[in-house]
Amino acid sequence: MPTALITGASAGLGAEFARQLARRRTDLVIVARSADALEEFAAELRSAFGVAVDVLVADLAVESDVERVASRLRDASDPVDLLVNNAGFGLPLQFADNDIDDEVRHLRVHVEASMRLMHAALQTMRGRGGRIINVASVAGFISRSTYSACKSWLIGFSRWANAEYSRDRVTVTALCPGFVHTTFHARMGLATGEEGVPPVLWLNAADVVRTGLRDAARGKAVSIPSLRYKLVVALTAVLPRSLTAGVARRGRV
- Catalytic residue set: 147
Asked if 25 and 51 count as a contact pair (C-beta separation under 8 A), the reply is yes
DSSP string spanning 122-140? HHHHTTT-EEEEEE--GGG
DSSP string spanning 212-240? HHHHHHTT-SEE--SHHHHHHHHHHTTS-
Rg (CA), the chain: 17
Residues 6+ apart with CB under 8 A from 70: 116, 117, 119, 120
Residue among 33, 36, 35, 38 at smallest CA distance from 15: 38
| C-alpha–C-alpha distance, residues 167 and 146, integer Å | 33
Residue among 173, 175, 182 at smallest CA distance from 209: 175
